[in-house]
């Protein structure tokens, strides 16, 4: 089964040890809104939210949207470590 946007967000978030509440706070949405994005109940969360999530988690928007991995997608990027700290 193909992974969804929500699956990839959840996977990246958990890889960095971040809670839904923390990610939601950092991108300026409610925990409920982020939960709905991760569970697929929000079919189009909007470009600004996807860009914000990618920035905080240190992954590309291509990875979140399409599952395409860049060279550093398998590692914790320095940007993500700074965002979590």
Q: In the structure, what pLDDT confidence band is assigned to residue 79 with cuts at 50, 70 and 90?
A: very low
Report how many domains make up the chain: 1
Quick one: average pLDDT of 9-22? 94
- CATH code, domain carrying 75: 1.10.260.40
Q: In the structure, what pLDDT confidence band is assigned to residue 2 with cuts at 50, 70 and 90?
A: low
Domain span at 33: 5-84
Report pLDDT digits (tens) over 24-65.
999 999 999 999 999 999 988 999 999 999 999 999 999 999
Q: Which of 85, 17, 6, 11 is nearest to 50 (CA)?
A: 6
From the CB of residue 42, how many other CB atoms can be counted at a distance below 10 Å?
17
Q: What is the pLDDT of residue 67?
A: 83
Give me the residue label for tokens 């996807």: 50
């Amino acid at each position: 089964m193909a992974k969804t946007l929500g699956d990839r967000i959840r996977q990246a978030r958990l890889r960095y040890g971040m809670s839904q509440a923390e990610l939601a706070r950092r991108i300026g949405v409610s925990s409920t809104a982020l939960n709905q994005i991760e569970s697929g109940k929000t079919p189009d969360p909007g470009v600004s939210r996807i860009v914000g999530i990618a920035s905080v988690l240190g992954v590309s928007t291509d990875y979140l949207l399409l599952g395409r991995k860049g060279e550093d997608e398998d590692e914790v990027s320095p940007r993500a470590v700074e965002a979590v700290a």
